[in-house]
Amino acid sequence: MSGHPTAYLVIASQRSGSTLLVESLRATGVAGEPVEFFQYLPETSMSPQPREWFAGVDDESILRLLDPLIEGKPALAPPEIWRDYIRTVGRTPNGIWGGKLMWNQTPLLLQRAAGLPDRSGTGLLSAIRDVIGSDPLLIHVYRPDVVSQAVSFWRAVQTRVCRGRPDPIRDARAEYHAGAIAHVVRMLRGQEQGWRTWFAEEAEENVTPMDVPYPVLWRNLTQIVGDILEALGQDRRLAPPPVLERQADQRSDEWVDRYREDAEKLGLPTRFTEPARRGRSAGTGRMCGRPAAVGTPRPAAGSTRTGTGPTARR
């Protein structure tokens, strides 16, 4: 494995297809345990709950569709124990580490990493390196159709199911809401722009992630997993058939079409601008307010803020 990275980090925004990728990587048995380690809020030890994604929104027609907040418990693990837990749990016996990071989680990753000894720098790249223990292969998963991504997000925060099929009764109660979807579109645009700005800022450090757009991912999942395995020095033949099904269905498609019509009439956001950037192309749910595993040190990272993030250099 000499010359190959021993770690990878999938970087994305919610509902981009990143779970589809990491679950197939996990299924190989040789590509780490790619958990979303950095999603847990230090105040609650939980990932953001539905209403936290809509902080600052006072529209009761939106809030009535979201579960009330649950009181959690503060994360108390010191930074070094938190780091050691992440390094241990994310690694398979062959030494490969895997993980996933969303842009909205980067401020708290920086905050938590700041308490570590012997830092290599103060920026995001250094925080990633100092927590993982090496420079990882970066895999950027993104969804060009941000409206479909936002509809998926809005439906998931109502059903509280981020993978697989939701309870039919609860899913039936989920409602279309143009204002809520517009809020999510803006949030996801901010996250994707955050990543792309960071790529541009770190160009001197040769930050050139493997780019994986969602339409390419779900059509070529096994091939892309094989490409990643090969980049890690592993046997690409271990790439399995897809282990998860796509959640989108006719109802999601109807909401997407309905939102596009409403957006045209009401001037709501529908897309993000993709600036030119360097990168390598690949190939030709949990944001639901669930607590960290009981009895383990809880990673204290994640944020409900979007469109903001680290600007410090290495």
Catalytic residues, by residue number, are: 36
Q: Is 19 helix (H, G, I), strand (E, B) or coil?
A: helix
Q: Are 293 and 33 in contact (CB under 8 A)?
A: no
Q: Are 295 and 51 in contact (CB under 8 A)?
A: no
- Give kind and range of the element (H or E) at residue 281: strand 280-281
CB count in 10 Å sphere of residue 6: 19
For residue 62, give both structure tokens. Answer: 């939106």
Residues 6+ away with beta carbon under 8 Å from 262: 178, 268
| Pick from 139, 138, 109: nearest CA to 124 | 109
Can you list the positions of beta strands (E) in 69-189?
97-102, 137-142
- Give kind and range of the element (H or E) at residue 228: helix 221-231
Residues 50 and 156: their CA atoms lie apart, in Å, by: 9
